[in-house]
Amino acid sequence: MGGAWVYLVTGGCGFIGEKIVELLSQQDYIKEVRVFDSVVKEEVENLTTGTENVLRACCVLNIPYVVYTSSIAAVGPNTSCEPMFRGNEDTEYGGEVELPYGRTKAMAEKIVLEANGKKLSNGGSLSTCILRPNTVYGEGAAFLQELYLAARARKGVLDYLEPEDTERNHSYVGNVAWMHVLAARNLQLKPGLLAGQVYYCYDDTPSRKGFLVRHQLLATADPSLRLGSHIPYWKMWLMIQLHRIIRAILLPFWEPQPFLNLPLLNTIVTTFSYETDKASRHFGYKPLFTWDESRHRTAQWLKAAVGSLEPPQLHGKKN
């Protein structure tokens, strides 16, 4: 197989996709890395059911391996806001997913798993697996830039919505991308083990309190940033309802800026965390970047993004 493989990254111009392309291009067993993205080809924006199209094309063109990037949102929280506390890939969790984004990811996961083992036109079979990132931070994470600017507008105070006992996992984009690289390689080498499997993405980023992680990330870029206080659920609920009323009244004449909606608020305040080493056991995954490296690289990017220094030269690691 040496040097013969061609990899295609769909969505390769996106936040995670760009990092996957960067790491794939450093692997000596890969002949070529190709990118397919709506940013590159505007006409693909008119296509629907993209995952089905990819899988169908694989069967016709004899592409034997697919790694699908899903999300923890495909699992939950559900509409009853039931928590998941340090679960794993085998944890049973039911009910309808709360967020529309999560529902579409769950639908796509079902399609990908059902496609595993399908016959290719040359008589071979398709092998698929799924990776589920959580809250991903790092260079290019727009939500961090928005949080930072919002905190600066509040005189350097970062308030938060989730209760202090809420748990949520975070992972650095470089480690999420590295898990994709390893999963893709080992799906080729060990399809009997990886095919049909689902893996949560993880690294050594602290996972107990998400608001503390965000504060550490932002404070590494700007030490003057202070952690504020918890915003009560009832207050945000009232603000959401007020925004809906104002929007309904003013919409014919003026459209207010997008605001937090109730399903997203319910998701934020619900514990949804996991602990797992499945990726390590199945294909030898270890984080490529430590927590210290991850937050310092993120801080360098954030400083550049808000215009406080020239864009940093970040050199990716090669395994």
Q: What is the spatial distance between Cα 218 and Cα 108, in angstroms, rounded to a whole number?
A: 33
Q: Does residue 53 lie within any of the structural domains?
A: yes
Euclidean distance between CA atoms 183 and 67, whole angstroms: 7
pLDDT score, position 308: 56
Longest Cα–Cα distance in the chain? 64
Q: What is the pLDDT of residue 48?
A: 59
- Residue matched to tokens 């009232």: 238
Q: How confident is the model at residue 207 (pLDDT cuts 50, 70, 90)?
A: confident
d(CA 272, CA 279): 19
Dihedral of CA 181/184/190/194: which sign?
A: positive
Q: Token digits for 269? A: 């305040």
Burial environment of residue 222 by CB neighbours within 10 A (0 to 12, 13 to 18, 19 or more): middle
- 209 compared with 274, residue with greater pLDDT: 274
pLDDT of residue 132: 98
Judged by DSSP in three states, 227 sits in strand
pLDDT digits (tens, 9 = 90+) for 23-52: 999 999 999 999 988 765 555 555 558 899
Is 297 part of any domain? yes
Q: Which helix (H) or strand (E) holds 157?
A: strand 157-160
Residue 153 domain-assigned?
A: yes
pTM above 0.95, yes or no: no
Q: Is 310 inside a domain boundary?
A: no
Q: Is residue 312 part of a domain?
A: no
Q: Would you call the peptide bond into 77 cis, given omega within 30 degrees of 0 as the criterion?
A: yes
Orientation of helix 50-61 relative to helix 100-115, angle to 10°: 20
Whether the predicted pLDDT of 1 surpasses 80: no
* Catalytic choice (29, 93, 101, 199): 101
Residue 253 domain flag = yes
Domain that holds residue 257: 5-305
Query: How far is the C-alpha of 114 from the C-alpha of 231, rounded, in Å?
Result: 43
Check if the beta carbon of residue 172 is closer than 8 Å to that of residue 16: no
Q: Give me the pLDDT at residue 300, please.
A: 95
Total residues belonging to the chain:
319
User: For this structure, is 200 an active site residue?
Assistant: no
pLDDT at 319 over 50: no
Q: Does residue 276 contact residue 285 with C-beta atoms inside 8 Å? A: no
* Residue 166 φ/ψ region, left for φ over 0, alpha for ψ in the -120 to 50 degree band, beta for the rest: beta
| 147 alpha carbon, distance to own chain's centre | 17
**DSSP state string for 185-218:** HHHHH-HHHHTT-EEE---SS--S-HHHHHHHHH
DSSP 165: T
**Is 313 a domain residue?**
no
* pLDDT above 80 for 317: no
Mean pLDDT confidence for 237-254: 87
Q: Is residue 223 part of a domain?
A: yes
Residue 318 has pLDDT above 70, yes or no: no
What are the two backbone dihedrals, phi and then psi, of residue 148, each rounded to the nearest 5 degrees?
-65, -45
CA distances from 33 to 17, 61, 128, 255, 284 (A): 12, 17, 19, 42, 23
Task: Report the CATH number that the domain containing residue 258 is assigned in CATH.
Answer: 3.40.50.720
Query: Are 274 and 84 in contact, with CB atoms under 8 Å apart?
Result: yes
Q: What is the pLDDT of residues 255-310, one digit of tens each?
A: 777 778 999 999 999 999 999 999 999 999 999 999 999 999 999 999 998 875 44
Domain count, the chain: 1
159-168 pLDDT, tens digit per residue, is 999 999 999 9
- The CB-side HSE value for 310 (13 A sphere, CA atoms) comes to 1
For the chain, what percent of residues have pLDDT higher than 90? 80
For residues 112-136, average pLDDT? 97
